Structure formats: C-alpha cells, structure tokens
C-alpha cells in the first residue's frame, strides 16, 4: 500500500520537445490528466501528418482515469483528443472557450452527444476523486487560459499551463497574480511551469503593442490589406478587426479554421465584432480597395493555406494585386522558417508591401520571458520545481533560473517524457519510467507507421529505387525472361540510361550464375541479385537505391 499513498506525476509529452503536451497526475486509484496535445512532424518523419503522445499508460489504467483537464484550446494542448477519445471515453473539463474550440474540432471525428464535455468557471473549485482543483486565469495567445492548483493528499501541485504576465491584455483579463500569491501563501509542494521562452531575457511585450503597430501599417496602406495570423489567436483577431474598423475598412475572412474559430469565439462572447464590419469574401470587389481588409490563415506558409494560395494566385476568391499590403502577424513555428520565407518572397514578387516579424513589430509571443518565469516562481514559492513545455535546453535554462530565484538545487527535477516522479510528504524523486514516445498519424491511420516504414521512406526519398523483374524456371533455376529494370526516383537524364543498361547486365550475370549453379532457393537468388546490383550502383553513382528483385517462378 505504500506506493498508493504517494503521488505520481508522469509527463507523457511536452518535455524535451515543443508540442504534444500531456501530464498524468496519479494518486492511489485515481488519475487525472492535464492537456492532451499533438505536435507537427519534423522533416525526419516523411509523410507523417501528426505526432501524438503515446498514451498507452492511460489505456492500461483506464479504470483509474477520472478526467482530462484542458488548460487552453491550442492544438498542442487539445489536438490529441479526437484520437484519444475514440479509445477512452473520459470526461473533459475546460473553460468556456476551450471547450467551445475543442467541440468544433471533435465534431469532425466523433458524435458529440456521446462525450462528456464540462465547462468550468475558473472562479469555482472542482473536486475529482482525491483531487481538488483551483483555477487561476492566465494570459496567453488565446483567451480563457488557466493554470491549475491541484490539491492532493500529499500537497499542492501548481501547473502553470502556457502563460505570460500581460499587464494590459486586450480583454482586460490579467494573469491572476493574487490567486497565485494566495496559493503560494498556503504552501505549494511543486510547481510545473512553462519553459518555452526561458532563453529570452526580460518581459514579453504586451499583446496590445501589436495593435499600435498594426494600426500604423493599416493607416498608411493605400490599397487592400491582407492580414494573416494564427486562427486561434482571438485577441490578435480582435485587434485586427478593431484596426480595420478604426480605419474605415470592412473585413472579409478566408481560411476554414479562421472562419470556424471566429464563429465560435464570437458566439461565446470572446470576440466582439463591430456591426456591419464583416463582408463575404466574394463581395470584396464591391468596395473600394482602401476600404477592405482580408483576414486570412496561412501565417506559417502552409502550402495549402489561404495566404499561400493568395500569394501563388491559386485562391478562388482573392487574387494578390500590386500595391496590396500584407501583414504576417505571427512568428514561424520552428521548422516552418523556409516555408514562411518562401511565401514572403512570393508576395513581394506579386508586388505587395509585406510586413513580418523580422522587419516590423507585428507579433509578440504568448509565453512569458525570463523575468515573468521568475515572477511565477516567486509568487508560488514551491518546494519542488519541474520545468515543462520546452526542448531540453529550455528546461535546463528554466532550471538554472529557478535556482537563481532560490529554489534549492536538489529540489529541481529535470524530467523527460515517461519519467515517473514520485512525491511523498518529505521527498520527491524520479523513481522509474514508463513506455512513452510518439504515435504517428499518417493519412487515416493512427499508430500504423513504424520505424521500418519511416526508414524505407527516407531511403526512397534520398536514393530512389530499382525493381528487377525476371522469370525463372522453378525447378531448374533457368532464366526464362528478363531481367528488366524499372527505376523510380533514381538518377535521371545523361548517364543514367547507360547505367541502367549496365545494371541490367549485372542482374543478368547474377541470375545466370544462379542458373549455372542451379540455385532455386528463392531468398538466395534474390540476395545474389540484390548484392551484385547494390555494389555496382554505389560504385557508379554513390547512391544506394532500394533494390527489389521481383523474380517469378513459372
């Protein structure tokens, strides 16, 4: 029974990486989970669409699982839900907008009436099993975000969610200093805090400062304005709409996620759209060019997004014109630098004036910088500190910063996904490790892309492939027809016809040797052909194409 009296925190995602945030809190026979996010794959994962945390621990402990609590509505905190909820029907809890956005997403995948979606009001506490949850409002690049104080039999765990301390937020809702301070006064066992910007000195600028810059740009634009941002950044969208309104421009919206999120957020009262501001995107030509602002998705240069289509003159309803002003009010998510840069270039080529982060202050981060991270620690004054949400180097810098603010060094735990952090009243330690890692979503398949598939794809993409086709007599091994060579993604024009011709002869030689030696063992035959071709092609081209002998017995 000893292990049952301890509290376990098990991060399933978000540690040592940006994205797929998910944390298990377990006491005795009860588990709650904070967030269930996804991340987008890196180049090393060709063809993979999404990456999910491996939540097999929850499947194995489904009878203990009581709830998933969502801190806010970003994909890296809620994006795993459509997949997880297929396996495990567990009650969800989140603030009004968070649940609203999650619903919008879930409706595409699952029948909503079979799910338990619970709106919480952050002013009131929530009891789930042995846990009592207090909610603290936090500012972030999406409204209605919360941090949690989880009261457990062992002590209070504070989970920061994603936060910044914006002193002048667009909706007037500041991060709840006093509630954090009050929780801190009552004594906190451990703080789990957002490390994303732990390398950035000072304070993150207020969201409102972006509005000022946007207003300057829009005020001096003489023709149409096209503004792209994250579709979930309701405050940014609010500011863009106000700037448009103030400058006598109507707003047209393009991009599915932008349309959906604006409709949800305005319905729930998180977005106040001035009357008669919106016009359908089909109608923009009914207005003078200097009275139109087009609000668009595609701030990451995603090839199929509205902005990328506008830039490449491939959008059905909006065509870029010379003299348009384009504002990319976002930062490239790591890995997207090249595609954003490509979109910017295309916009310039199309004759637009383009404003983006590196030349104008059209974006601020939603995560707190180092001074804000220190403030969080000083408000909460935890005994133990666990940096979460960040690459390993972000966790390290956050840990050093925590030590600077006075957390004892041996009470700072740098953990990884899958680590079991066990707390008793008087100590905490990483005591073990569960299977963790990633599930790949590939087309309609979830978890059905193994390492072999990824390795094959990498090889195919780097080296191409060669198929050797022949028929042999099954009893004698005599070569009947072929060999023929089919190649894909292998070297092209000048020398290659000749190389493939020689390759054919090499394959033939190998097959004739087999014939002479009356080799009829399938595997042996194939491996002879493969080896001899592989050696030959590497010597000729320095490439190692995948070689597939298709040798048929007749």
List, in sequence order, the alpha helices (H) in 353-391: 370-380
Decide if residue 403 touches its own copies (CB under 8 A).
no
Residue list 194-223, contact with its own copies (CB under 8 A): 199
Contact 249, 214 (CB under 8 A): no
Q: How far apart are CA 87 and CA 439, in angstroms?
A: 14
Decide if residue 374 touches its own copies (CB under 8 A).
no
Q: How far apart are CA 494 and CA 315, in angstroms?
A: 38
Decide if residue 437 touches its own copies (CB under 8 A).
no
> What's the min distance (Å) between Cβ of 440 and its own copies?
9
> What's the min distance (Å) between Cβ of 552 and its own copies?
6
- When binding is defined by CB under 8 A, the residue of 381, 489, 513, 527 that contacts its own copies is 489
Nearer to its own copies, 47 or 187 (CB): 47
What is 84-129 written as a DSSP string? HHHH----EEE-HHHHHHHHHHHTTTS-GGGS-EEE--TTS-EEET
Catalytic residue check, 194 = yes
Catalytic-role residue among 367, 394, 397, 528: 367
Catalytic-role residue among 194, 200, 324, 419: 194
Distances (CA, A) of 164 to 19, 78, 143, 246, 343: 17, 19, 12, 28, 29
Decide if residue 474 touches its own copies (CB under 8 A).
no
Catalytic residue check, 528 = no
**Chain centre to alpha carbon of residue 30:** 28
Closest CA to 517 of 472, 470, 476, 550: 476
Nearer to its own copies, 453 or 519 (CB): 453
- When binding is defined by CB under 8 A, the residue of 442, 472, 507, 514 that contacts its own copies is 442
Decide if residue 174 touches its own copies (CB under 8 A).
no
Size of the residue set binding its own copies (CB under 8 A): 67
Interaction mask 13-32, its own copies, x per CB under 8 A:
---x----------------
Binding site residues for Zn(2+), as ranges? Answer: 72, 74, 76-77, 140, 162, 389
- When binding is defined by CB under 8 A, the residue of 460, 500, 513, 519 that contacts its own copies is 460
> What's the min distance (Å) between Cβ of 150 and its own copies?
29
Decide if residue 316 touches its own copies (CB under 8 A).
no
Residue list 267-296, contact with its own copies (CB under 8 A): none
Distances (CA, A) of 496 to 356, 450, 464: 45, 33, 13
Tokens of 136: 């603290």
> What's the min distance (Å) between Cβ of 362 and its own copies?
14
Element (H, E) at 136: strand 131-138
CB atoms within 10 A of CB 454: 18
List, in sequence order, the alpha helices (H) in 221-302: 234-246, 256-267
- Which are the contacts of 496, defined by CB distance < 8 A and separation ≥ 6? 487, 490
> What's the min distance (Å) between Cβ of 398 and its own copies?
12
Residue list 491-520, contact with its own copies (CB under 8 A): 491-496
Closest CA to 176 of 227, 122, 219: 122
Residues lying near its own copies in the complex (CB under 8 A) are found at 16, 42-43, 46-47, 199, 334-335, 337-338, 341, 344-345, 348-349, 354, 358-359, 391-393, 396-397, 442-445, 447-450, 452-453, 456-458, 460-465, 467, 469, 471, 480-482, 486, 488-496, 540-543, 546, 548, 550, 552, 554
Residues annotated catalytic, as ranges: 194, 367
């Amino acid at each position: 029974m000893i292990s049952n009296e301890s509290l376990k925190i098990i991060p399933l995602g978000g540690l040592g990486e940006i994205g797929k945030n998910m944390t298990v809190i377990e006491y005795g026979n009860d588990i709650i989970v904070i967030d269930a996010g996804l991340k987008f794959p890196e180049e090393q994962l060709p063809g993979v669409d999404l990456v999910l945390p491996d939540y097999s621990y929850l499947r194995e402990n489904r009878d203990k699982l009581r709830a998933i609590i969502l801190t806010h509505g970003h994909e890296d905190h809620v994006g795993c839900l459509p997949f997880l909820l297929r396996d495990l029907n567990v009650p969800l809890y989140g603030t009004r907008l968070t649940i609203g956005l999650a619903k919008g997403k879930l409706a595409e995948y699952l029948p909503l009436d079979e799910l338990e979606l619970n709106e919480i009001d952050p002013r009131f506490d929530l009891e789930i099993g042995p846990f009592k949850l207090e909610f603290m409002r936090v500012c972030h690049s999406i409204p209605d975000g919360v941090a949690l104080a989880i009261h457990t039999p062992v002590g209070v765990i504070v989970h920061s969610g994603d936060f910044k301390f914006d002193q002048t937020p667009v909706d007037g809702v500041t991060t709840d200093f006093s509630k954090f301070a009050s929780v801190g006064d009552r004594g906190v066992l451990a703080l789990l805090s957002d490390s994303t910007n732990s390398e950035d000195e000072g304070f993150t600028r207020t969201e409102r400062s972006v509005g000022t810059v946007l207003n300057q740009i829009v005020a001096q634009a003489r023709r149409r304005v096209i503004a792209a941002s994250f579709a979930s950044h309701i405050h940014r969208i609010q500011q863009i709409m106000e700037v448009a309104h103030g400058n006598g421009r109507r707003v047209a919206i393009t991009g599915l996620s932008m349309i959906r999120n604006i409709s949800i957020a305005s319905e729930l009262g998180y977005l106040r759209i001035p009357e008669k501001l919106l016009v359908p995107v089909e109608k923009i030509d009914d207005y003078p060019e200097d009275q139109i602002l087009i609000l668009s998705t595609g701030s990451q240069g995603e090839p199929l997004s509205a902005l990328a289509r506008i830039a490449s003159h491939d959008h059905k309803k909006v065509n870029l014109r010379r003299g348009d002003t384009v504002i990319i009010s976002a930062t490239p998510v790591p890995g997207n630098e090249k595609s954003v840069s490509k979109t910017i270039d295309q916009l310039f080529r199309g004759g637009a004036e383009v404003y983006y982060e590196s030349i104008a202050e059209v974006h601020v981060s939603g995560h707190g910088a180092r001074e804000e991270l220190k403030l969080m620690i000083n408000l909460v004054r935890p005994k133990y500190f666990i940096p979460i949400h960040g690459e390993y180097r972000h966790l390290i810098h956050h840990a050093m910063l925590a030590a600077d603010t006075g957390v004892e060094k041996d009470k700072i735990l740098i953990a990884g996904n899958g680590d079991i952090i066990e707390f008793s009243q008087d100590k905490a330690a990483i005591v073990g490790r569960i299977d963790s890692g990633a599930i790949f979503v590939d087309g309609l398949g979830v978890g059905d892309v193994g390492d072999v598939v990824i390795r094959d794809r990498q090889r195919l993409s780097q080296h191409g492939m060669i198929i050797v086709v022949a028929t042999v007599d099954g009893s004698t091994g005599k070569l009947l027809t072929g060999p023929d060579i089919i190649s894909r993604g292998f070297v092209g024009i000048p020398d290659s016809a000749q190389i493939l011709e020689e390759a054919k002869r090499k394959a033939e030689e190998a097959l004739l040797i087999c014939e002479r030696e009356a080799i009829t063992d399938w595997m042996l035959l194939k491996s002879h052909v493969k080896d001899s071709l592989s050696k030959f092609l590497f010597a000729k081209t320095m490439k190692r194409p995948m070689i597939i002998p298709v040798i048929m017995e007749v």
